[in-house]
Structure 1
Amino acid sequence: MPNAGSSRTGRKQRGSRWPVLLGLLALCYAVAALGGLASTDAGDTYNALDRPAWAPPGWLFGPVWTVLYGTIAVAAWLVLRNPHDPTRTAMTWWSVQLLLNLAWTPLFFTAGEYGLAFLDICLLLAALLTTMVLFARHCGAAALLLVPYALWVTFASALNLAIWLSHT
């Protein structure tokens, strides 16, 4: 009879994980929405910038970030799925990178502070790489899910630097 109870407990634990995923998705997309509110004219601002020839078109950022915010949430969810695994440090770094991500848009688009935005994105990249290392200790798939995000942030860092240097 103990197997029947443990089976129900296992199903209950698995079922209770979905609200956590939905909460993480809501949090990540709230960060996206706040960034959008902080840069309502980002498209016009981006198009008016002196950009390098390799800069992507402005329309690409929305779809890319939509996917990336989803993977950021799912990666955290994968790490949090094991309640017996201490994840506090990993999730603290995940939170730090998300806050730095949130800070970048108003620094770059609203304030036009390209140098401070570059500092922020460099700190974001460092926090993200730390998050990936810590996530890998808990769940390799979670760390791998953050690879496209890290590549995009690296590219965005180079683009931010190029724009900053062209405006100094």
Structure 2
Amino acid sequence: MARLSPYLLTTSATCACAVAGSLASDPDSSYYKNLTKPAWNPPNWVFPLAWTSLYACIAGTSGYTLARLKQDGNTEEAGRYSAALATNLALNASWSYTFFRSHRLGLATAHAGVLALSSADLVRRTARISKPAGALLAPYAGWTAFATALSGSIWWLNNKN
């Protein structure tokens, strides 16, 4: 049986993550509309644009990294990288469920923080194999750190206790 290309695998996994997160996100819901948001909250149209470009970077840089690791015969590191990527994408996709569906703003903030740490780790792992690929992926870590701050601010502004 032929093995799938690392690019096909990372693109498929990233697309699945994007679809899962999109299905859970509902910025038009009364819940989200009624939340108090900080003045620095971007307009809703910014999020799909940012995420689409970030997902493309994740798929491309991760595919490249895995291809390089496999080409170099470093299957153990490729396995660790794949596990880190899978964990990151699972955290990414599930955050929307925590925030938009569960309405648990404190948990969503913690969730976003773990995602930001995972994203920074993915950038670190990628940069060890290719500095340019790591640099291309770095905005993802920055965006998830921003999302953590934004989630925390929304939680703070809407804390009823």
- The runs of at least 4 consecutive aligned structure 1 residues that moved more than 6 Å come to none
**Alpha-carbon distance between aligned partners in 2 of 1:33 and 1:42, rounded to the nearest angstrom:** 15
Q: What amino acid sits opposite 2:45 in the alignment?
A: W
**Counterpart in the other structure of 1:138:** 129
**Alpha-carbon distance between aligned partners in 1 of 2:85 and 2:18, rounded to the nearest angstrom:** 15
Q: What amino acid sits opposite 2:90 in the alignment?
A: L
Q: What amino acid sits opposite 2:24 in the alignment?
A: A
8 Å CA contact 1:50–1:166 kept in 2: the answer is yes
Structure 1 unpaired stretches of 5+ = 1-15
Give the paired residue count.
151
**Counterpart in the other structure of 2:117:** 126
**Alpha-carbon distance between aligned partners in 1 of 2:130 and 2:80, rounded to the nearest angstrom:** 14
Specify which of 111, 114, 133 is matched with residue 105 of structure 2: 114
The alignment partner of 1:58 has SS state of coil
- Of stretches 68-77 and 41-50 in structure 1, the one that deviates more from structure 2 is 41-50
Measure how far apart 1:156 and its partner are.
1.0
Percent identical residues: 32
Alpha-carbon displacement from aligned partner over 1:20-40 (angstroms, at most 9, x marks no partner): 32332222121111112123x
Question: Structure 1 21/124 Cα, relative in aligned 2: closer, same or farther at 3 Å?
Answer: same
**Alpha-carbon distance between aligned partners in 1 of 2:12 and 2:28, rounded to the nearest angstrom:** 24
Specify which of 98, 102, 109 is matched with residue 89 of structure 2: 98
1:165 is aligned to 2:156: yes
8 Å CA contact 1:75–1:145 kept in 2: the answer is yes
The alignment partner of 2:38 has SS state of coil
8 Å CA contact 1:93–1:128 kept in 2: the answer is no
Measure how far apart 1:145 and its partner are.
1.8
- Of stretches 27-36 and 65-74 in structure 1, the one that deviates more from structure 2 is 27-36
**Counterpart in the other structure of 1:27:** 13
8 Å CA contact 2:88–2:115 kept in 1: the answer is yes
Measure how far apart 1:127 and its partner are.
1.2
Alpha-carbon displacement from aligned partner over 1:9-28 (angstroms, at most 9, x marks no partner): xxxxxxx98x4323322221
1:87 is aligned to 2:81: no
TM-score, normalised relative to structure 1 = 0.82
How big is the alpha-carbon RMSD for the aligned residues of Structure 1 and Structure 2? 1.7
TM-score, normalised relative to structure 2 = 0.85
